[in-house]
Structure 1
Amino acid sequence: MSKITLKEIGKALNLSVSTVSRALRDSYEIGEKTKERVLEYAKSVHYRPNPIAQSLKVNKSHSICVIIPEIANNFFSEVINGIDYAAYERGYNVFIFQTHESYEREVSSIHLGMDRRVDGFIMSLSGKTDHYDHLDLLKSEEIPIVYFDRVPPANNINKVVVNNFEGAYNGTKQLINKGKKKIAHITTPLILSITKERLEGYKSCLRDHDIEIDEALIKFCSFDHREAIDIVNKLVYEDQIDALFLGSDRLALNALNAVKKLGASMQNKIEIVGFTNMKYVDLLSPVICAIYQPALEIGHAAANLLIDYIEARRKPEPKQIVLKTFMKTND
């Protein structure tokens, strides 16, 4: 069977090719009854548009590029699920690139996305991104971008984040309410927005409860699992801590493993709270109080925010969406 064309649809319906094309693109210029006629007929003859030709004509590819540090991270994998679901519902394809915490791979991913003529980007910065020329390139090319979780230090951007300060404050308060005074904070590199916000929530809670802030108990950790384990051992044996507040998913997992190896007595002594979206937290040992981010909702919101921006005839002002965290414990 030969492939049906716009011209043949137009001839069958006594419409021009341009009217058929606009109707199939849901153009505001075409009336609802005409759109309905065209769509019903196109469906009946199994019409399928040529995506490449379509993207060249309207300067749209109906695809978006997602750049994240690591798919294996529970939080990021859940966000991707949310993005993919929302994008599919609105007729967009999703390309995914991982940076593995590399600035160079982040820059390369942006160029690859641009080469693929994506309509926009959704992005969470790598742990080594400390300057933003590559992001300025997107702005100069007027390519829309929505940031989530780890965002650059700018106010006039589209972003979807959680209230990291509040989450960290409440997590630290949970430890204090259990009688803990010597609370260590192991967190991600200081260049990240989430690190600064969570650190300030931790410090603010200590101040509000008249607990002295000991800078020696604040450790900025790379993404090497061995480093996190060594830090936990030092804090336990040399600094005599009685609680751990952990700033990320991977740090939480590494710290749990480290404390587990210390034996039952230490597991009973050290309370643990951490930002993590690990599944089955109620089955984990030792006990951890998890600060969950609504990752699926973050992904859904980021995709819809980006697509709204792509499809807007008049580009709206940048929008910031701030969601709440929630806590779950296996205690």
Structure 2
Amino acid sequence: MKKATIHEIARSLNIDSSTVSRALNDSPLVKKATKDLILKKAREMGYKRNLLASNLRRNKSNTIGVIVPRISRHFFSSTIAGIEEAAYKDGFNVIICQSLEQLNREQRIVENLLQNRVDGILISVSMETLKGSHLEQCAVTDTPLVFFDRHIKDLPYSGQVLIDDFHGGFVATEHLILKGCKKIAHFTGPKNLEIYKNRLAGYRSAMEEHDLENNGNLILPSSLMESDGFKLVAKLLDTVGDVDGIFCANDLVAIGAMKGLKALGKTIPDDIAIVGFSNEPISEIIEPSLTTIDQNGESIGRLACEMLLRQITRTDKMIRNKTVVLTPKLIERESSNRR
């Protein structure tokens, strides 16, 4: 069925189209009786306002773009829940996109969002993202930009809502030390991403503080998929041998490591204790349940969205270059509960 237009409503009532337009926009210049007549006819004809055209005239879309590496990850789905809650409260729509950890896909998404005139962008960058050159267009177009979780350091026109990854790495590693582990490995992520640099720094700091070895053989990088964890434990035990603890930079690689250790006949946590990072739902139900660091994704998403909206509405001109850091907490479960 064809959508009714303002001109068709005007013709059906023999009223000027400008009067119809003002009535539909609730203008005080139109008498109440005329306005009621026009609104009744508009409902009868199934008229719907063209919000896109209206927004373009106002140079405002009431829409924000959100870019995450993978929607399937519980952490990112929970951040999206927080983002949508804050956006809905302020009358904004959300476009959700996923980079699938690919830089070229992330670049195209940013370009498309800017072409579609979103009012702002929230982004957690892909594992391939080394620099923020593709995000510089946000500054050129005066489009507010806020990073959450994964970020690019020293972009002067962006805000950030982050987890204290150094603290999380330190607490996770020290927890293993306090459980009696003496030789602790770390399964880290790509070294270009700040979050993994900081989690590694926290691991090293805890090891140094307790006078424990943390040489290069104990630090193994990967893309942090479950399959990586399975392979890395075999490599670790083959090259080092007497490891009794592993701190993993996310839960997926930790779960893969647990499966690999079981396949090699190792008992968790008595032979090797494990701590993950992110508190995925599966971490609580696997056997043994996984000790992990909880990031509180919903709070990160909500705070990042609120920061972006304040910049969009110009209620806080100091948002750019502002950083909010949240403190993660350890969730102790069976995988580190050594006898």
TM-score scaled to structure 2, two decimals? 0.82
What is aligned with 1:137? 137
Q: Contact between 1:260 and 1:267, CA under 8 Å: does it hold in 2?
A: no
Question: 1:16 and 1:209 mapped to 2: Cα distance?
Answer: 77
Segment of structure 1 superposing worse, 184-193 or 252-261: 252-261
What is aligned with 2:13? none
Q: Contact between 1:127 and 1:192, CA under 8 Å: does it hold in 2?
A: yes
Question: 1:287 and 1:56 mapped to 2: Cα distance?
Answer: 52
What is aligned with 1:242? 244
What is aligned with 1:293? 295
Which digits, 9 at most, give the CA deviation of each residue in 1:193-214, with x for residues without a partner? Answer: 1011111111011111111222
Which digits, 9 at most, give the CA deviation of each residue in 1:206-253, with x for residues without a partner? Answer: 111111222110011124543332111121344121011001233223
1:77 Cα deviation after fit = 1.0
What is aligned with 2:91? 91
Flag the 1:313–1:284 CA change in 2: closer, same or farther, 3 A.
closer
Matched residues, number: 307
2:11 matches 1:8? no
1:276 Cα deviation after fit = 2.1
| SS of residue matched to 2:117 | coil
What is aligned with 2:16? none
| SS of residue matched to 1:327 | strand
Which digits, 9 at most, give the CA deviation of each residue in 1:234-277, with x for residues without a partner? Answer: 21344121011001233223223222333353553111111122
Question: 2:68 and 2:287 mapped to 1: Cα distance?
Answer: 29
The amino acid that maps onto 1:212 is: E
Alignment of 1:275-294 (within 5 A): 275-279=277-281, 281-294=283-296
The amino acid that maps onto 1:92 is: F
Q: Contact between 2:311 and 2:319, CA under 8 Å: does it hold in 1?
A: no
Q: Contact between 2:226 and 2:254, CA under 8 Å: does it hold in 1?
A: no
The amino acid that maps onto 2:324 is: I
1:185 Cα deviation after fit = 0.2
What is aligned with 1:161? 162
What is aligned with 2:219? 218
| SS of residue matched to 1:275 | coil
Question: 1:148 and 1:221 mapped to 2: Cα distance?
Answer: 22
Question: 2:73 and 2:54 mapped to 1: Cα distance?
Answer: 36
Q: Contact between 2:153 and 2:194, CA under 8 Å: does it hold in 1?
A: yes
Provide runs of 4+ in structure 1 moved above 4 Å: 1-6, 45-49
What is aligned with 1:29? none
1:153 Cα deviation after fit = 1.3
1:90 Cα deviation after fit = 1.2
Q: Contact between 2:183 and 2:213, CA under 8 Å: does it hold in 1?
A: no
TM-score scaled to structure 1, two decimals? 0.84
Q: Contact between 1:121 and 1:145, CA under 8 Å: does it hold in 2?
A: yes
Identify the match of residue 269 of structure 1 among 234, 249, 271: 271
Q: Contact between 2:186 and 2:218, CA under 8 Å: does it hold in 1?
A: yes
2:125 matches 1:125? yes
Q: Contact between 2:226 and 2:255, CA under 8 Å: does it hold in 1?
A: no
| SS of residue matched to 1:268 | coil
1:6 Cα deviation after fit = 5.0
Specify the structure having the higher radius of gyration (Cα): 2
Question: 1:130 and 1:208 mapped to 2: Cα distance?
Answer: 31
Q: Contact between 2:228 and 2:253, CA under 8 Å: does it hold in 1?
A: no
What is aligned with 2:256? 254
% of aligned pairs identical? 34
1:127 Cα deviation after fit = 0.4
Q: Contact between 1:162 and 1:325, CA under 8 Å: does it hold in 2?
A: yes
What is aligned with 1:50? 50
| SS of residue matched to 1:297 | helix
Alignment of 1:22-37 (within 5 A): none
What is aligned with 1:21? none
The amino acid that maps onto 1:91 is: G
Question: 2:192 and 2:266 mapped to 1: Cα distance?
Answer: 36
Which runs of no fewer than 5 residues in structure 1 stay unpaired? 18-37
What is aligned with 2:61? 61
Flag the 1:114–1:269 CA change in 2: closer, same or farther, 3 A.
same
